[in-house]
Structure 1
Amino acid sequence: MKKKATLQLKAHVKIGEKVIIISGREKGKIGLVKKILRQKNRLIIEGINMGVKHIKPTRPGQNGEIKRIEFPIHSSNVSLYQE
């Protein structure tokens, strides 16, 4: 059985930098980089690519919830923002 090689790519932006989205449905929006997922070459950007996550209750008597969180976006879809 062959093992898949995991290629860790170096991101062209750093955590805390301002980026602009250059493609996709969020095109033209600006946000700060919160987290870098190196193995998948993706970024989590503050306030961009918001999605809904349904969370089931884990214990009896506890309520489930619906959270809005930022989902990752591919690093090739962002560019460093110059003011």
Structure 2
Amino acid sequence: MESTNKKAPAKLHVRKGDTVKVISGNAKGETGVITKVLVEKQRATVEGVNMITKHIKPNAQNPQGSIEKREGAIHISNLMVVDPKTGEASRTGRKANDKGKLQRFSKKSGNLL
């Protein structure tokens, strides 16, 4: 018999479409919208932030090859959600709404995200 010890993916404080501010690293202070979240690696790709250079090998469609700039992933511990009402970075929490479903809220202003 095979045991399945797979953990459920952790709930993260950020999700795709959130506007976030980078709080540490080379891109500190920059803001952008999350385009992709890698749950297993606890990383996120933010639009226009942490630009890296990617070398593309030549292939049939692109016989010359190329050098391309794209966004690199950032660990989610270095990201903070920007509160849409105040425009400031804020920690997030979760509380149940009237239907009992957990919803994220900004700890600075108390508004739902």
State the TM-score bracket (shorter-chain normalisation): 0.7 to 0.9
Deviation at 1:9, TM superposition (A): 2.6
Identify unmatched segments of 5+ residues in structure 1.
none
C-alpha distance in 1, partners of 2:7/2:57? 32
C-alpha distance in 2, partners of 1:23/1:6? 29
C-alpha distance in 1, partners of 2:7/2:58? 34
Structure 1 vs Structure 2: percent identity of aligned residues?
Answer: 40
User: How many pairs were matched up?
Assistant: 79
Q: Which has the larger radius of gyration?
A: 2
The structure showing larger relative contact order (alpha-carbon pairs under 8 Å, at least 6 residues apart) is 1
Contact 1:6 1:39 in 2 (8 A): no
Aligned-residue RMSD, C-alpha: 2.0
Instruction: Label 1:42 to 1:7 Cα distance change in 2 as closer, same or farther (>3 A).
Output: farther
Pair 1:27-2:28 in alignment: yes
Alignment of 1:23-62 (within 5 A): 23-59=24-60, 62=63
Off by >4 Å, runs of 4+ in structure 1: none
C-alpha distance in 1, partners of 2:74/2:16? 14
AA paired with 2:77? S
Deviation at 1:8, TM superposition (A): 3.3
TM-score between both structures, scaled by the size of structure 2: 0.63
Contact 1:7 1:39 in 2 (8 A): no
AA paired with 1:29? E
TM-score between both structures, scaled by the size of structure 1: 0.85
C-alpha distance in 1, partners of 2:56/2:7? 30
C-alpha distance in 1, partners of 2:51/2:30? 12
C-alpha distance in 1, partners of 2:41/2:17? 19
